[in-house]
Amino acid sequence: MITRTNESWLADLRDGGAVHADALNDLRAVIQKGLPYALSRWLASNDPLFEPLVEEVTQETLLRVLDQLDTFEGRSLFTTWVHKIAIRIALTELRRKRWRDASLDELTENEDVPPPPGLLADPQASPETSAERADMLARVRRILEEELTAKQREALVLLGLQDVPMEEAAKRMKTNRNALYKLLHDARLRLKRRLALEDITPQDLLTAFEQK
C-alpha cells in the first residue's frame, strides 16, 4: 500500500483510471483494518452479523467518501476522517436493520402493488403516519423509475437491499468492483439532485418510516 498525504489521497481519488482504482483499493484496506476493532464495542466478532456488516459498511463508506471529498477540510488525517464516517455508518446500520426486509424490486415494480409488509407494517403507527409513509413510498418509486438507469437500479437492489457482496454483484452484472462503485456513485448523485428538486431530504425519508 502506498503511503499518501492528505493531498495525495484527494488527488488520487479524483483521478481516473488505474490511479483512482489503486487509491480506492488502498482506502478499502484501511477501512477494513480499522472497522473490526471499532465495531467490537457494539457487536461481538463471532456474531453472524459481524462480517457482513463490515463489508456493507466498507462499501457504503467508500461511496460516502467519494460523494463528500469536497467537504474534507484537512483538520485531521484523511484516513481519520474516513474512519469517523465508517463508524457513523456502522452505528446507523445497526439501528436500522428493519429496512432490509424491503425489496427495491417490490418498491419500483408497480405503484398499485402494496408495499412490502416489512417496510410499512407497524401495528403502532397511526393512520396519518401510515398514509404519509405510503405517499412517500409512491414518490420514491416514481423518482427511482424516472431518474435511474436499469443498471443503476439493479446495482442498488443487489448492494443496497439484498446485501449481495460487491464481488458477487460485479460478477452478476458482468463488470468489476471499481466500475460498480462508479455506477453507484453516479446513481447517488442523480438521486441526491432529484430529491432536492422534489424538496425531499434523506431525513424526511427516515422520519417517515421511523415515526409512530
Write the DSSP string, 25-79. Answer: HHHHHHHHHHHHHHHTTTS-TTSTTHHHHHHHHHHHHHHHHHHTGGG--SSS-HH
Residue 55 and residue 78: Cα distance in Å, rounded? 20
pLDDT at 90 over 90: no
pLDDT at 114 over 80: no
Domains in the chain: how many in total? 2
Q: Assess whether 59 and 117 both reside in one domain.
A: no
- Asked if 40 and 51 count as a contact pair (C-beta separation under 8 A), the reply is no
Domain boundary among 61, 95, 129: 95
pLDDT at 87 over 90: no
Q: Assess whether 125 and 206 both reside in one domain.
A: yes
Residue 161 falls inside a structural domain:
yes
Q: Assess whether 205 and 108 both reside in one domain.
A: yes
Q: Assess whether 163 and 197 both reside in one domain.
A: yes
Stronger pLDDT, 89 or 162, i.e. the higher one:
89
Stronger pLDDT, 9 or 113, i.e. the higher one:
9
Cβ-proximal residues to 71 (8 Å cutoff; 6+ apart), any chain: none
pLDDT at 54 over 80: yes
Residue 61 falls inside a structural domain:
yes
Helices 17-39 and 78-95, interaxial angle, to 10°? 60
Residue 180 and residue 201: Cα distance in Å, rounded? 25
Mean pLDDT of 181-196: 82
pLDDT at 122 over 70: no
Residue 180 and residue 155: Cα distance in Å, rounded? 7
Residue 153 falls inside a structural domain:
yes
Q: Assess whether 107 and 203 both reside in one domain.
A: yes
**What pLDDT does 124 receive?**
55
pLDDT at 154 over 80: yes
Residue 61 and residue 82: Cα distance in Å, rounded? 7
The single-letter code of the amino acid at 96 is: R
Domain that holds residue 66: 6-95
Q: Assess whether 65 and 85 both reside in one domain.
A: yes
Residue 67 and residue 71: Cα distance in Å, rounded? 9
Residue 1 falls inside a structural domain:
no
Residue 40 falls inside a structural domain:
yes
Task: Report the share of the chain in percent with pLDDT over 70.
Answer: 72
Mean pLDDT of 88-103: 62
Mean pLDDT of 124-128: 60
